[in-house]
Amino acid sequence: MRPVAKSLQEYSRGIIGGLLFSLPLLYTMEVWWAGFSTHPLHLIFYVLATFALLLGYNFYAGLRHDANWMEVVIDSVEEMGLGL
């Protein structure tokens, strides 16, 4: 089990990194219009595709090198939750 301080450090790095790249997009009206005009099934597909890419990223270049598949899935679900 990881120490709480290490987990908090990993979460804060993830949140700050996500905000660094996504915050400018939240201020553009085009992104909001695209989200409102896209069919809901397409949005679900995009979320699932993003999750699949995140699984691959976490498996090959994740935060911990000793993680098994279950930990990779749990990390990916947590990261998707942080992103949403």
| Res 44: pLDDT | 93
pLDDT in tens, 26-63: 778 888 888 899 999 999 999 999 899 888 888 887 76
**Closest CA relative to residue 63, chosen from 48, 45, 82:** 82
| Res 39: pLDDT | 94
Domain count, the chain: 1
Range of the domain at 64: 4-83
HSE-CB of 84 using CA atoms within 13 angstroms: 12
| Res 57: pLDDT | 84
- Kindly tell me if the per-residue pLDDT of 14 is higher than 80: no
If you ran DSSP here, which 8-state letter would residue 1 be given?
-
- Tokens 């709480």 locate to 4
Task: Report the predicted TM-score, pTM, of the whole model to 2 decimal places.
Answer: 0.67
For range 60-71, the mean pLDDT: 77
If you ran DSSP here, which 8-state letter would residue 38 be given?
S
